[in-house]
């Protein structure tokens, strides 16, 4: 076969996995991606007729410029962080839990069953503990269901967990229009949690932020220093290898997905009792999907998730500010956030893979 024929069959661009890359080079790629995202976003802002530097400054000030906005930024970061930690339990064993939204919602409903109807029976501390346990158990069981089906019948967990989101959402609509509808309301809504049952604030934000920081440390220890964490890693590498090593893969699926769902259910309880004080179709607010981005950007590292969740919360809070200050449409501010996250996620591809063009000799990176 001629050299010309071989070149004709060779693709124009080939994707090759890198053998290794230094941390310095990896962070250099991430820094370049971040700068490019700001430049690209700046072009969008300029097209809209605004000064990019002024808009970016307003985003930072709108997130960290006063005690009040700092509290709001932290309130956005807390559910993102805990949910990201929750789904990382599943993702580490390559069980694609796309059902965090539903697990958050059922956690909120379970917590609401106690918060809305037994606040007059229990003192605050026992009531809060009951709401926490109810939310975590409900979320855990909702996460356990697809794990059981995966272990027993080999079902597709991505579709299974995704569909469970809509079931949870439909159930909340039923509650809003039916048995939990607020008395005397002409609109479909659930009553507000009484002030005496709401979570106490620490430094201006409900104490869920302290719990989130504790979970960062605990989850890192669990993943890296415990037998169960090791089993998750082995199952994630290969189910067959795990079975050969004597690990009960089915049990790991079930145990880990219960923990994953339980943490998401905890988020539902915190949103209900610490932020919204009621349950609506927007209680999860897209957190379950945004948390996937947090987990991937952080490479499933809990400490990295802390940084990324705060960064994304800053972007979301900042986008609200520029909508008000510069009259930028919500769709444009969402697009700006999307551009930044697109570049940050995309750069991970170039850290893991490299592109080889036709006619270029392959060298190991």
Q: What is the pLDDT of residues 317-333, one digit of tens each?
A: 998 889 888 988 888 88
d(CA 284, CA 268): 7
Whole-prediction pTM = 0.90
- Indicate if the pLDDT at residue 63 is higher than 80: yes
Q: What is the pLDDT of residues 99-156, one digit of tens each?
A: 999 999 999 999 999 999 999 899 999 999 999 999 999 999 999 999 999 999 999 9
d(CA 235, CA 229): 10
Average pLDDT over residues 354-362: 67
Ramachandran sector of residue 154 (left: φ over 0; alpha: ψ -120 to 50; beta: rest): left
- Indicate if the pLDDT at residue 196 is higher than 50: yes
d(CA 192, CA 278): 5
As given in the structure block, the two tokens for residue 102 are 């539903």
What per-residue confidence (pLDDT) applies to 102?
97
d(CA 52, CA 49): 9
What's the burial of 235, exposed, middle or buried (CB within 10 Å: 0-12/13-18/19+)? buried
Question: Which of the four pLDDT bands, split at 50, 70 and 90, describes residue 354?
Answer: confident
Ramachandran sector of residue 34 (left: φ over 0; alpha: ψ -120 to 50; beta: rest): alpha
What per-residue confidence (pLDDT) applies to 333?
84
What is the SS3 string spanning 95-152? CCCCCHHHHHHHHHHHHHHHHCCCCCCCCHHHHHHHHHHHHHHHHHHHHHHHHHHHHH
Q: What is the pLDDT of residues 174-185, one digit of tens each?
A: 999 989 998 888
The CATH code that applies to domain 77-327 is 1.10.3470
> How is the chain split into domains, by residue range?
77-327
- Indicate if the pLDDT at residue 365 is higher than 50: no
Cα of 174 vs its chain's centroid, Å = 26
d(CA 169, CA 167): 5
Q: What is the pLDDT of residues 283-304, one digit of tens each?
A: 998 999 999 999 998 989 999 9
Average pLDDT over residues 173-199: 91
Average pLDDT over residues 348-362: 72
* DSSP string for residues in 317-349: HHHHHHHHHH---HHHHHHHHHHHHHHHHHHHH
What per-residue confidence (pLDDT) applies to 4?
53
Q: What is the pLDDT of residues 205-244, one digit of tens each?
A: 999 999 999 999 999 999 999 999 999 999 999 989 999 9
What per-residue confidence (pLDDT) applies to 275?
93
Average pLDDT over residues 246-267: 96
List alpha helices for 178-286, DSSP H. Answer: 208-225, 227-237, 239-244, 249-270
Please give the helix or strand (H or E) that residue 37 lies within, else none. Answer: helix 23-47
d(CA 139, CA 257): 10
Question: Which of the four pLDDT bands, split at 50, 70 and 90, describes residue 172?
Answer: very high
> What percentage of residues in the chain have a pLDDT greater than 70?
95
Greater pLDDT, 7 or 104:
104
> What percentage of residues in the chain have a pLDDT greater than 90?
72
Mean pLDDT, rounded, of the chain:
90
212 DSSP β-pair partners: none
Q: What are phi and psi of 353, to 5 degrees?
A: -125, 165
What per-residue confidence (pLDDT) applies to 7?
52
What per-residue confidence (pLDDT) applies to 327?
87
């Amino acid at each position: 076969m001629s050299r010309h024929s071989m070149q004709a069959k060779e693709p124009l661009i080939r994707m090759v996995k890198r053998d290794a890359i230094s941390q310095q080079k990896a962070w250099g790629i991430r820094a370049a991606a971040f700068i490019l995202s700001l430049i690209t976003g700046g072009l969008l802002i300029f097209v809209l007729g605004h000064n990019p530097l002024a808009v970016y400054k307003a985003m930072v000030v709108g997130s960290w410029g006063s005690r009040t906005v700092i509290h709001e930024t932290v309130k956005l970061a807390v559910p993102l962080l805990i949910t990201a930690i929750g789904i990382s339990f599943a993702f580490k064993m390559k069980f694609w839990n796309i059902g965090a939204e539903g697990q958050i919602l059922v956690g909120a409903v379970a917590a609401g069953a106690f918060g809305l109807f037994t606040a007059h029976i229990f003192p605050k501390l026992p009531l809060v503990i009951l709401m926490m346990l109810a939310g975590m158990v409900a979320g855990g069981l909702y996460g356990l269901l697809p794990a059981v089906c995966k272990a027993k019948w080999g079902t597709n967990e991505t579709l299974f967990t995704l569909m469970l989101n809509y079931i949870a959402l439909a159930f909340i609509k039923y509650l809003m229009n039916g048995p939990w509808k607020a008395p005397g309301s002409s609109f479909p809504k659930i009553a507000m949690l009484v002030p005496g049952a709401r979570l106490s604030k620490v430094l201006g934000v409900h104490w869920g932020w302290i719990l989130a920081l504790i979970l960062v440390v605990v989850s890192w220890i669990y993943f890296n220093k415990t037998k169960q964490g090791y089993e998750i890693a082995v199952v994630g590498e290969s189910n067959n290898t795990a079975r050969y090593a004597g690990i009960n893969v089915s049990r790991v699926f079930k145990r880990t997905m219960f923990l994953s769902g339980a943490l998401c259910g905890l988020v539902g309880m915190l949103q209900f009792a610490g932020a919204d004080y009621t349950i609506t179709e927007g209680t999860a607010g897209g957190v379950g999907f945004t948390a996937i981005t947090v987990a991937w950007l952080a490479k499933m590292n809990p400490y990295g998730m802390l940084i990324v969740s705060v960064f994304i919360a800053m972007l979301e809070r900042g986008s609200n500010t520029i909508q008000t200050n510069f009259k930028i449409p919500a769709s444009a501010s969402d697009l700006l956030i999307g551009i930044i996250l697109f570049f940050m996620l995309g750069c991970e591809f170039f850290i893991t893979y490299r592109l080889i063009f036709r006619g270029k000799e392959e060298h190991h990176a």
